[in-house]
Structure 1
Amino acid sequence: MRKRFALVGAAVATLVLSLLTVAPAHAAAGFTVANGRLLDANGNDFVMRGVNHAHTWYADRTTQALKDIKATGANTVRVVLSSGDRWTLNTASDVANVISQCKANKLICVLEVHDTTGYQEQSGAVTLARAVEYWKSVQSALAGQEKYVILNIGNEPWGNTGYTGWTQATKDAITSLRAAGFQHTIMVDAPNWGQDWAFTMRDNAASVFAADPQRNTVFSIHMYGVFDTAAEIDDYLNRFVTAKLPIVVGEFGNDHSDGNPDEDTIFATTQSLKLGYLAWSWSGNGGGVEYLDMVTGFNAAQLTTWGQRAINGANGIKATSREASVYGGGGDPTDTTPPSTPGTPSASGVTSTGATLSWTASTDNVGVSGYDVVRVNGTTETAAASTATTTATVSGLTASTTYTFAVYARDAAGNRSTRSSTVNVTTQAGGGGPASCAVTYKLAGQWQGGFQGDVKIANTGTAAVNGWTLRWTWANGQTVSQSWGATTTQSGATLSATNVSYTGSIPVNGSVSFGFIGSWNGANSAPTAFTLNGAACTTA
């Protein structure tokens, strides 16, 4: 049985979130976060529209409940699990079965551990660290399911006592999961029984997001009695959007013992901001909050007042939900706003057969899902590359030939921007790239969680290099946050460093250098293999 407590405490002065330029999400096998938006495995913007289901107490109802939840039009279900500390353990085989049923119903599965609810205030509640151990114990069920599963570490993992400990405990839980090999998008619930009335999550969200080495964390606020006015709802959600930090309403209802939430504003604001929401809950509530049932007795034919509002009301599930594209669904068909025009591309790493193009990102009302690079010949366009990042490598070109390229941006609804201005690229004479090269990689300094690297590229070939891209792959998941002497981009563990204007030329027997600041966790071994414009280099 799920029990809630009224919130206590005086109003806390508003602290403004620092504006944050969020780094592109670490490449993953499934969901990612980019520019404050949640993207599915196909790079499409994904807005949760769904329902919570109390599986751990009603496992015998789950098969039919998921079918019925899907029938509402929902694209997501948040599933209650237990680590075995307060309720019956949900084993790895049980979790695997839940995931299988979510997939069979084409639902994205948000899995949460409920035993953390009200830690330090409710008897028996466990820590986030304990929840992490549970996730490790069922990791076999989650491996390879990153396209379909979001890992919600623990439900409402602090009450109103000691809640300032939430920040460090959440950072530690995220880094522990990453160190254990979890590649999933992680969701974190707010303290104060999920409602964050003290703004602990709001004011520390940027640092928590930065603690995730994959930058793939989503924040979840639970909106009950604390959020009883439109001003409170709008202010809270807009602060995350302004800071480009991903936020969803992970639980909410139309009434509660701690106050009457403004559900109409929750529906309207999440829709206008294109933010996800998950209504609490399908059925089975007790302890005086039975009014939060969306259907009576798990009977989909008996919608309650709350169920009718959440499913069929204005901005409700039926009107606004779009199935995840990993199941074949598309973006919001009502969205007709195209992305802004990408910046004019620039070329680097030009060889006799290819080049790397880079451009300034576009913007879009629900997020850019990708870019199309085209080769232009008069009025004719030929597809050259497609990418979710602002760089692309074009290949298969002919030596000593001039080509013209341009870029389009697209969003999840299929809208395409106007074409960027063009860039002319003249390939090198036959051979392309250096005949040979040598790379010296040095660790200039290291501190807890961070380090400085210096790289020297020597041209040991017989022809000058004019424009270059150096690539290597990290062994320990390091990431680069800033650089000088080169422009760096990262896709997964692979880093690409492209010359800037003053480092583009490397004469025969000459060299250039660049440096960077990076982060590390656990180990910081040096890369052992480098390529320059696609040619392997020796290490010096």
Structure 2
Amino acid sequence: MTVPIPRKRRAWWAAIAAALCAGAAALFVAQPAHAATGFTVSGTQILEGNGAPFVMRGVNHAHTWYQDRTPRALADIKALGANTVRVVLGSGKRWGPDSAANVSAVISQCKTNKLICVLEVHDTTGYGEEGAAASLAEAVDYWISIKSALDGQENYVILNIGNEPYGNTNASGWVADTKNAITRLRAAGFAHQIMVDAPNWGQDWSFTMRDNAASVFATDPNRNTVFSVHMYGVFDTAAEITDYLNRFKTAGLPLVVGEFGHNHSDGNPDEDAILATAQQLGIGYLGWSWSGNGGGVEYLDMVTGFDAAQLTSWGQRLFNGANGIKATSKQATIFGGTTPSSPSSSGPPSDPPPSSPSPSAPSGACTATYAVTGSWPGGFQGAVTVKAGSAAINAWTVTWTWPSGQSFTNTWSATVTTSGSAVTAKNAAWNGKLAAGASTTWGFTGSFSGSNTAPTAVTCAAA
């Protein structure tokens, strides 16, 4: 049964005004370097494991409610230029639980689509005000229960402990609960970068997160915690947006805008100021959300009915507008560090083509490697890596025959035709020319009944 995504809540404006006047001073915290695999923090920057700065440019996807949509959604999100996706999970308190196997499949799909995966437990939304919400302690219990799916994924996964983990009631409890959650995760052996959402339904109008961020950061023995604010009606003026984001910059603490929209029932966010200021300060942002919103906030859908060919006005603004994803996103270097080139709503995940050989370059042999990268009942996701041999090639064709009656539901980065069980895949316009020893990958999702036996003979012909 589809569960409508919870509405974001109105903040208390009198309290905002008082807190703005108070203007609590930010405290700088020295952040020692740590030799660790995966994402780390250096000052206000998020760094990849190799030390390269990484700025999130992406969207949220409501996986736990729309699991059958996830493979196609991630491919489409990538095709439009994103480098990150924040994935909604259920811990079992309100939604789910999403099992370790389920989460492993999501991570695999993110990796196939060259997206950094921010995983979050949504059950904590509005704790203290929303009676059914899970506590941060319960969210940590969930993370520990699926740790097997997360181990070894530190280069690809950021762990967002819990979505909007306090409402507007007793929001000060966020400080101790967040510190305890970080301490427990580190004690359990999690080496991932940790992200923590603000209270007040994520909007931090009481400035509880802002004014206690330094002490929360210091609680993490790895000094590898990132803060996340959600910008809706509270942030309806450029002054409020620039003040909040700049305070973290001044404090030397890492911040991302983990959710924001172009409109909301609690006010009209200034999305132009959010995008411009985030770009100016090098702060990541993740828009809410790809598709499937309910409860009166359907206007937050970026595409209609999970169809990437039907971008809404919000989707157009976020992906294609000034300071938007297409203009500013840079792919993580773990995936090759390229920026998608002129993505279209119906196109494949489009990394720029490798360096092309001269027209007179000799053609050579190629090989194709087939792999299943994720699966679920009745469906799966796969990737085929095409590699040139000892000489450059100008084009390639991959063929195989499905042994178990499988069929495609979506393909990208190749032109695919089928005749019965016979499959023929030809290069796209941008990935056919490969230098000697170079490779490219195209992907697909498929369906099956019974067994999902891999084809025994996958051949590659070069030109």
TM-score, normalised via structure 2 length? 0.71
Distance 1:28 1:179 in 2: 16
Q: Deviations over 1:127-151 (max 9, x none)?
A: 0000000000000000000000000
Q: How many residues align?
A: 333
User: SS of the counterpart of 2:128?
Assistant: coil
User: SS of the counterpart of 1:210?
Assistant: helix
Distance 2:269 2:158 in 1: 26
User: SS of the counterpart of 2:41?
Assistant: strand
Q: Which residue of 2 aligns with 1:147?
A: 155
Q: Which residue of 1 aligns with 2:12?
A: 8
Q: 1:220-369 counterparts in 2 under 5 A?
A: 220-329=228-337
Return the offset for 1:26. Answer: 2.6
Q: Which stretches in structure 1 are left out of the alignment for 5+ residues?
A: 333-540
Q: Deviations over 1:265-287 (max 9, x none)?
A: 00000000011000000000000
- State whether residues 255 and 292 of structure 1, in contact with CA within 8 Å, keep that contact through their aligned partners in structure 2: yes
Q: 1:522-533 counterparts in 2 under 5 A?
A: none
Range with greater deviation from structure 2 (302-311 or 321-330): 321-330
Counterpart residue identity of residue 97, structure 2: L
Distance 1:256 1:72 in 2: 24
Return the offset for 1:331. Answer: 8.9
Return the offset for 1:9. Answer: 4.9
Distance 2:255 2:215 in 1: 15
Q: Which residue of 1 aligns with 2:198?
A: 190
Distance 1:25 1:55 in 2: 34
Q: Which residue of 2 aligns with 1:450?
A: none
Q: Which of 115, 129, 154 matches 1:121?
A: 129
- State whether residues 29 and 218 of structure 2, in contact with CA within 8 Å, keep that contact through their aligned partners in structure 1: no
Q: Deviations over 1:449-474 (max 9, x none)?
A: xxxxxxxxxxxxxxxxxxxxxxxxxx
Q: Which stretches in structure 2 are left out of the alignment for 5+ residues?
A: 341-463
Distance 1:20 1:270 in 2: 20
Distance 1:88 1:20 in 2: 39
Counterpart residue identity of residue 146, structure 2: V
- State whether residues 115 and 154 of structure 1, in contact with CA within 8 Å, keep that contact through their aligned partners in structure 2: yes
Comparing both structures, which one devotes a greater share of its residues to helix? 2
Q: Which of 158, 172, 175 matches 2:166?
A: 158
Q: Which of 104, 109, 116 matches 1:108?
A: 116
User: SS of the counterpart of 1:163?
Assistant: coil
- State whether residues 82 and 113 of structure 1, in contact with CA within 8 Å, keep that contact through their aligned partners in structure 2: yes
Distance 1:148 1:39 in 2: 12
Q: Which residue of 1 aligns with 2:48?
A: 40
Are positions 1:81 and 2:81 aligned together?
no
Return the offset for 1:55. Answer: 0.1
RMSD across aligned C-alpha pairs, in angstroms? 1.4
Distance 1:19 1:122 in 2: 32
Distance 1:23 1:308 in 2: 38
Distance 2:108 2:330 in 1: 20
TM-score, normalised via structure 1 length? 0.61
Distance 2:107 2:285 in 1: 20
User: SS of the counterpart of 2:239?
Assistant: helix
- State whether residues 28 and 184 of structure 1, in contact with CA within 8 Å, keep that contact through their aligned partners in structure 2: no
Q: Which has the higher contact order (CA 8 A, sep 6+)?
A: 2
- State whether residues 95 and 123 of structure 2, in contact with CA within 8 Å, keep that contact through their aligned partners in structure 1: yes
- State whether residues 12 and 198 of structure 1, in contact with CA within 8 Å, keep that contact through their aligned partners in structure 2: no
The percentage of counterpart residues that share the same residue type is 71
- State whether residues 24 and 35 of structure 1, in contact with CA within 8 Å, keep that contact through their aligned partners in structure 2: no
Return the offset for 1:6. Answer: 1.8
- State whether residues 22 and 34 of structure 1, in contact with CA within 8 Å, keep that contact through their aligned partners in structure 2: no
Counterpart residue identity of residue 33, structure 1: V
Q: Deviations over 1:322-361 (max 9, x none)?
A: 00011110599xxxxxxxxxxxxxxxxxxxxxxxxxxxxx
Return the offset for 1:123. Answer: 2.4
Range with greater deviation from structure 2 (284-293 or 7-16): 7-16
Distance 1:282 1:184 in 2: 25
Q: Which of 175, 189, 192 matches 1:181?
A: 189
- State whether residues 22 and 36 of structure 1, in contact with CA within 8 Å, keep that contact through their aligned partners in structure 2: no
Distance 2:171 2:58 in 1: 28
The 1:320/1:326 distance shift into structure 2, 3 A limit, reads same
Distance 1:204 1:139 in 2: 28
Range with greater deviation from structure 2 (281-290 or 33-42): 33-42
Distance 2:338 2:311 in 1: 28
Distance 2:146 2:74 in 1: 21
Larger radius of gyration: 1
Counterpart residue identity of residue 249, structure 2: V
The 1:281/1:320 distance shift into structure 2, 3 A limit, reads same
- State whether residues 279 and 323 of structure 2, in contact with CA within 8 Å, keep that contact through their aligned partners in structure 1: yes
The 1:57/1:25 distance shift into structure 2, 3 A limit, reads farther
Comparing both structures, which one devotes a greater share of its residues to strand? 1
Return the offset for 1:42. Answer: 1.2
Distance 1:261 1:7 in 2: 13
Distance 1:9 1:230 in 2: 16
Distance 2:13 2:24 in 1: 20
Distance 1:244 1:330 in 2: 28
Distance 1:57 1:17 in 2: 41
Counterpart residue identity of residue 275, structure 2: F
User: SS of the counterpart of 1:12?
Assistant: helix
Q: Which residue of 2 aligns with 1:138?
A: 146
Are positions 1:22 and 2:30 aligned together?
yes
Structure 1 moving runs of 4+ over 6 Å:
none
Return the offset for 1:36. Answer: 1.9
